[in-house]
Amino acid sequence: MLMSTLGLRLVPDELWEIVEPLVPQYPARRQGGGTAPADDRAVFTAIVYVLTSGCAWRNLPTEFGASPATVHRRFVFWTKQGLWQAFHQAVLDELGSRAEVDWSSAIVDAAVVRAKKGAS
């Protein structure tokens, strides 16, 4: 696993302490055998790398310790399980408990789309 300077910069220990209890258990694959499941922190770090760098899943460096297919499969699973919303809320709660959230500078984004053919 890439717990080098890059890995620790992407997912420092303090951040992993917030994320780890929220990570859903990935079910064992039905075919059995094969290699041991990829480490959750390695996969999470690889996902953060892809999302922050713009790297294509297929170009994920091998140093993360998980294949691009495994990382993408886990990303899809965690997305369906609601990890990202729970993670977002947990980070806000942690920052709020430290009084480090300044809501006076919050930004709200919205979109207005015209209803076509009289649809509501």
Q: How do residues 81-112 score in pLDDT, each as one tens digit?
A: 999 999 999 998 888 888 888 777 777 777 77
Question: Of 104 and 20, which is predicted with more confidence?
Answer: 20
What is the number of domains present in the chain? Answer: 1
Find tokens 């729970």 and name the residue: 86
> How high is the pLDDT of residue 16?
93
> How high is the pLDDT of residue 36?
73
In terms of residue numbers, what domain contains 30? 5-118
- Supply the pTM of this predicted model: 0.76
What's at 37, amino acid-wise? P
CB 78 within 8 A of CB 41: no
Backbone angles phi, psi at 14, to 5 degrees: -60, -40
pLDDT for 34 beyond 70: no
